[in-house]
Chain A
Amino acid sequence: MTVRVRGLDVDLAGRPVLRGIGLDVPAGGWTAVVGPNGAGKSTLLLAVLGLRAGRGEVAVAGRDPRALRPRERARLVAYAPQHPGLPAGMTVFDYTLLGRSPYIPHLGRESARDRAVAGDVLDRLDLAAFAARPLGELSGGERQRVVLARALAQQTSVLLLDEPTTALDIGHQQQVLELVDALRAADGLTVVTTLHDLTLAGQYADSLVLLSGGRVAAAGPPGDVLTRESVAEHFGARVRVAPGPDGRPVLSPERPC
């Protein structure tokens, strides 16, 4: 399933947040949206999700999510927010089951199949042992995986992840991104993430979109987008960019002298 955005303008409270955004993610592709704080990355994800009104074209698998009923939309695209609401007393299993909401009749209850899907997702993410544990008792890494589990339980082919590595140590960052990549390969998921860490973004995504001041400053393969000059210009940071073993760029911060 493809994601396509053309000429998207989004205003929040009368303030322009996104202007003239274009985005193309092929089916099975992974695009990372990078950019400095306040560039509009999260807003772009919410616009693709259909939860932010705006002018311009947004199409997920050829359909405009803004025109869909919430349930249809939630069967098309799943979303893991940067700061998820995690009711402390809710168990991991029940939280994962929330991902089945678009399939459960409005006033009905979940079916055996919904429970089986939630159970399978927990198995795949090595969370089965946590099924009965309340969310309030999870570590940061476990929480990220649980939020991912809920999104996967929606069984959509497009996955939007807002900063999936927030507040994770370097090991857990890799673990979560490897997991997303493995799921993408296994299920043919189309993935759009925002990512703070530019090196990680360059390592995992096939394509980067650099947002700055609400506009697309650069887009393309990681090596084209992450250059010493673009990072200096848009992040105000001094970095050395060197190709890693696989040719993808690795950024090292340099202390200004």
Chain B
Amino acid sequence: MSRGEITKHIEAGEGEILASSGMDATEKTRSGSFLQKDGQVSFSHSLIPGVDILAIREALKSIPEAKEYYGSAFTSLKREFPRDTEGGYFIRVKKGVNVELPIQACLFLKSQGFKQKVHNIVIIEEGARVYLITGCSASAAAKEGFHLGISEFFVKKDAFLNFTMIHSWREDVTVKPMSISLLDQGATFISNYVCLKPVKEIVMYPTSVLSGKGSRAVYNSLILSHPGSLHDVGSRAILAAEDAHAEMIARSVSLGGSVINRAHIKAEFPRTKGHIECRGLVMSEKGYIHAIPEMESDLRDVDLSHEAAIGKLRREEIEYLCSRGFSRDEAQSIIVRGFMDVNILGLPDKLRGEIEKIEERNLQSSF
């Protein structure tokens, strides 16, 4: 397997769309790739030893333990999940492997009205480390598409997973991701969600169960909500072991769309900690943001806190920048770019730079 082989599976007109959701077709900055279009897995390969990247269907046939993992996160929480899925990825980083360059996975809606339903499994074994960037996007033809993504993450003892999901849909696409992550002792799971393009409706409420001592879950989101879009997005963490720690940081800008920012931290074990930070900026009179930070515990020895703030662009801030010589448009743009701070995602410099470029392109086309 050689770098850039994925380009053979990218058709004319698809490259730019895939790039907008984080795909590096040259793979120069990647350790492996997965690409699915509609219901078909087009391509998957790993470029380094100790990492499995393959279609879920294939994994269920060739990797005996894959079957044990399949659906187990949902059943552990007694939750139902759709079984009529078609495709999805299986990614496993073996014990102790430190994957320096990110792995990329892309789920692409190609055809009009297609209902894409995938089931993904990610296993990060003991002491392993990886950055996984998942891009979900739709072609110009994929009108009124639908995407359902079921994801199960297993982050083992002292393992590290930074999962960055970039959604780059169309204004008539409906999206419903369902995800559960299980964290063992000392495990770290960072989930970043970036959605800057129009979408019809996104509903998601991923859950992390921190059942390992000293485990840590972080959910960050950057959402730009365009007129006509509805984002009902949130995250939930169940702190079920000593020194478990969850943090949720949301930044939402409404250009006229509706955003419901949910966050829920439940402390089921003493000496746990959780913090929610939810900030919204409403740029248009038609815009709507509803922040719902929730914290729950019947224990005394827990530390849960939240801060939430929703506002519009403050005149004083724009004036301040104008008094330094910026035009009003420049001032507004600087403030929004500052608000949508990619630094909250905790990414290494190179990957952060990539996301900054994607954000910049989207913001440029929005203002």
Does B bind A? no
